Amino acid sequence: MFTKAERIISLRNLRPKKKEGFLKIISIFSFLGITLGVSILIIVMSVMNGFKTDLTKKILGLNPHIVIQPNSFKINDEFISQIKNNFEKISISKSFKGEGIIISNNKAKGIILKGVDKNEKNIKEFFNTFISRGDLKNLKSNELFIGSELAFNLNLQIGDTVNLMSSAFISTPLGSLPKQENFKIAGVFNTGFVEFDQNIIFMNIKDALSIFNKEINDQDIEVYLEDPLKANIYKEKIQKINKNYFIYTWSDLNKSLFSALKVERNVMFIILSLIVVVAAFNIISGLTILIKNKTKEIAILKTLGLSNKSIKKSFFLTGLTIGFFATTTGVILGTLISINIEKIRLFLSAVFNFEIFPSDIYFLDKLPSEINLFSISIIFTISLIISAIASFLPAAKISNMSTFRALRYE
Region 167-183: mean pLDDT is: 76
pTM of the complete model beyond 0.75: no
Digit-coded pLDDT (tens) for 80-96: 788 877 887 788 888 88
Q: Considering only CA atoms, which of 366, 369, 368 is closest in space to residue 349?
A: 366
Looking at every residue in the chain, the average pLDDT score rounds to: 80
Burial 126-135 (b: 16+ CB within 10 A, else e): bbeebeeebe
Burial class (CB in 10 A: 0-12, 13-18, 19+), 78: exposed
Alpha helices (runs of H) in 198-307, residue ranges in sequence order: 205-211, 231-241, 250-253, 255-293, 295-303
Confidence band for 358, pLDDT divided at 50, 70 and 90: low
Burial status of residue 203 (CB atoms within 10 A of its CB: 0-12, 13-18, 19 or more): buried
Asked whether 133 and 158 are in contact (CB, 8 A), the reply is yes
Residue 215 has what pLDDT?
82
**pLDDT category, 202, cuts 50, 70, 90?**
very high
Mean pLDDT on 398-410: 54
Distance CA 55, CA 371 (A): 16
- Nearest-angstrom CA–CA distance, 127 and 394: 65
* Per-residue pLDDT tens over the stretch 109-158: 888 899 888 888 888 888 888 888 888 887 888 889 999 889 888 888 98
The domain segmentation of the chain, as residue ranges, is: 4-57+257-408, 90-225
The answer to whether the CB of 260 falls within 8 A of the CB of 51 is: no
Q: Can you tell me the mean pLDDT for 385-402?
A: 75
pLDDT-derived band at 401 (thresholds 50, 70, 90) equals low
pLDDT at 58 over 80: no
